[in-house]
Amino acid sequence: MHALVRDPRLKPTVSLVVAPGPSLAPTLDLLRALWSERQVAVRALYIVVGRSGLELLHTELLDSGAGLDRLAAELGEGGLDHDGVHTYLARLPSGEVLDDELEPAHAACFREVLWSATRDALAGSGARPVYFALLDGMRSSSSAQLGAFCQLLARAQDRLISLRPPSDVAGAQRILEHELPHLHGVLDGTVLTSFESAVQVARARAGTAPPTLRIDLAEGFVEVDAVEVDLSPAERLWYAYLAWRRSETVDGWVLAGRDGHEDFLAFLRRVGARRRTSSIRSRPLRELLEAQSVHDDDLRNLRGKTVQRWKRWCARHRPELAALLVPEADGNGHQRIPLPATWIELAGLPRGASLP
């Protein structure tokens, strides 16, 4: 087992969403494996259970001397505090706690409570990653639904994982990550109030997949579905900054005013823009690279030109993509690319570069 990490700055933490089967042993195994294999500590557990699962939750996990207490003794800082367990009961409107999904109404109840647990995990975790866990013994319906919810709601930092059992007695369990195309941001968040609403919107938008946006800073080009977009070097840098921010944050908004100059400058320096100063015709951008004082009115002109260039390109080539590719503003000094990060490829970045 790896040595425990004592420095909290070096210890990643996650939230975990599970819908266990008739035993909580796989859940405990996953908590243990996350710490021993990856030094990842689970700080919040969102668990969906029925009537019998509620009894097991106490006898196998929460009671004195049960699973969580044993993990705390075994893992130290890698253990999960009792206060971090959030329980969701599959319950009919009448108040009856369910224990199976044999009837359609009962199945819908389990599905909606799992949806609620997933939404709460994402809302309550902030920037902390949320892991969606596929466990041995889960109902097949729960496994399918959790995968679907991950695809609909997961952010860039979230993961769908499972625990592969050892190949022999002496072997160790391994955590597997399962890649799914994320639709977070593709579907308007205001319609994702229930699973049914998500299904309806997804059906309505079938066949209208977003384009692939590729920005290559090393080679100096921007493409949409392999068709090049004519942007100036300065416009390309601003758009690349928006694209990077889109993939590194939940909502992708960038502070576009004077208070955002420092972050933009840090990005420019990290991507080596100063080496290409001679090709940048935008005077305020050159001055910013030289750490001179720049009026935001000048950079606002660059941002406006970038917007107009994209509007013209979309009008000429792909009018239906304007709502995804033209930078949008929120009215409070922020700008972003509407296109979700899943569909953005940003190449030519120096290794190890990160946002300010």
Q: What is the pLDDT of residues 97-140, one digit of tens each?
A: 888 887 888 888 899 999 999 999 999 999 899 999 999 988 88
Per-residue b or e along 268-285, where b marks 16 or more CB atoms closer than 10 Å to that residue's CB: bebbebeeeeeebebebb
Do the domain assignments include residue 355? no
Residue pair 52/18 in contact (Cβ under 8 Å)? The answer is no
Identify the sign of the CA torsion 339, 341, 347, 349.
positive
The per-residue pLDDT for 180 is: 80
Q: What is the pLDDT of residues 326-344, one digit of tens each?
A: 999 988 889 999 998 889 9
Return the closest-CA partner of residue 345 out of 195, 237, 231, 225: 225
Do the domain assignments include residue 26? yes
Same domain, 80 and 187: yes
The per-residue pLDDT for 336 is: 94
Same domain, 39 and 140: yes
End-to-end CA distance of the chain: 34
Same domain, 117 and 242: no
Same domain, 190 and 231: no
Q: Tell whether the model's pLDDT for residue 7 goes beyond 50.
A: no
Residue pair 265/290 in contact (Cβ under 8 Å)? The answer is no
Do the domain assignments include residue 3? no
Angle at 14 between CA 10 and CA 25, to 5 degrees: 115
Same domain, 193 and 284: no
Same domain, 169 and 35: yes
Same domain, 278 and 322: yes
* Domain residue limits at 237: 213-347
The per-residue pLDDT for 274 is: 59
Q: What is the pLDDT of residues 271-290, one digit of tens each?
A: 776 555 455 566 666 667 66
Would you place residue 48 in the very low, low, confident or very high pLDDT band (cuts 50, 70, 90)? Answer: very high
The per-residue pLDDT for 27 is: 94
HSE at residue 62, side-chain half, CA atoms within 13 A, is: 14
User: Of 180, 204, 228, which closes a domain?
Assistant: 204
Same domain, 107 and 31: yes
Q: List CB contacts of 254: < 8 A, sequence separation 6 or more.
A: 241, 242, 245, 260, 263, 264, 334, 335, 336
The per-residue pLDDT for 354 is: 46
Residue pair 128/40 in contact (Cβ under 8 Å)? The answer is no
CA distance 153 to 147: 10
Per-residue b or e along 72-99, where b marks 16 or more CB atoms closer than 10 Å to that residue's CB: eeebeebbbeeebbbbbbbeeeeeeebe
Same domain, 220 and 85: no
Find residue 347's DSSP bridge partners: 216
Do the domain assignments include residue 352? no
Identify the sign of the CA torsion 42, 43, 49, 52.
positive
Do the domain assignments include residue 185? yes
User: Of 140, 175, 204, which closes a domain?
Assistant: 204
User: Of 140, 174, 204, which closes a domain?
Assistant: 204
Do the domain assignments include residue 293? yes
CA distance 144 to 256: 41
Same domain, 200 and 220: no
Q: What is the pLDDT of residues 231-244, one digit of tens each?
A: 988 898 899 999 99
The answer to whether the predicted template modeling score (pTM) of the entire model surpasses 0.75 is no
Q: How many domains does the chain have?
A: 2
Same domain, 162 and 283: no
Q: What is the pLDDT of residues 177-195, one digit of tens each?
A: 998 877 766 655 555 667 7
Do the domain assignments include residue 110? yes
Do the domain assignments include residue 175? yes
Would you place residue 161 in the very low, low, confident or very high pLDDT band (cuts 50, 70, 90)? Answer: very high
Same domain, 227 and 168: no
